[in-house]
Amino acid sequence: MGPTPITPQTGELFKQPLAEQINMRHPLVQLAGLIDWQALEQALSESFISKRGRPATRPRLIAGLLYLQHAFDLSDEDVVWGWVENPYWQFFTGETYLQTDPPVDPSSLSRWRRRLGEAGVEELLAHTIEAARRAGAVRESSLRRVIVDTTVMEKAVAHPTDSRLLERGRVHLVKAAKRLGLKLRQNYNREAPRLAAQIGRYAHAKQYTRMRRTLRTLRSRVGRVYRDVERQLGAVPEPQRNALQDLLARVHRLLTQRTDDKNKLYALHAPEVECISKGKARKPYEFGVKVSITTTHKEGLVIGSRSMPGNPYDGHTLYEALEQAQILSNVRPEIAVVDRGYRGAEVDGIRILRSGQKRGVTRVIKAMIRRRSAIEPAIGHMKADGKLDRNWLKGTLGDALHAVLCGAGHNIRLILRKLRLLFAWFLCSLHLEQLATSLR
Q: Which residues of the chain have pLDDT under 70?
A: 1-14
- pLDDT tens per residue, range 74-114: 999 999 999 999 999 999 999 999 999 999 999 999 999 99
* 229 and 100 part of one domain: no
Into how many domains does the chain fold? 3
* 89 and 235 part of one domain: no
* 243 and 294 part of one domain: no
* 200 and 97 part of one domain: no
* 231 and 178 part of one domain: yes
Check: CB of residue 365 under 8 Å from CB of residue 176: no
SS3 content of the chain, % helix, strand, coil (to 5): 60, 10, 30
Distance CA 8, CA 421 (A): 39
* 82 and 184 part of one domain: no
**What domain range includes position 113?**
16-127+415-431
Q: Supply the pLDDT for residue 12.
A: 61
Helix (H) or strand (E) holding 176: helix 162-180
What stretches of 88-144 adopt beta strand conformation (E)?
none
Q: Supply the pLDDT for residue 89.
A: 97
Q: Supply the pLDDT for residue 326.
A: 96
Distance CA 40, CA 63 (A): 9
Residue 400 covered by a domain: no
Residue 301 covered by a domain: yes
Distance CA 156, CA 398 (A): 12
Check: CB of residue 320 under 8 Å from CB of residue 306: yes
* 213 and 290 part of one domain: no
Q: What is the DSSP string of 331-372?
A: S--SEEEE-GGGTT--BTTBEEEETT--TT--HHHHHHHHGG
* 151 and 289 part of one domain: yes
* 324 and 369 part of one domain: yes
* 103 and 174 part of one domain: no
Q: What is the CATH number of the domain that holds 387?
A: 3.30.420
Residue 85 covered by a domain: yes
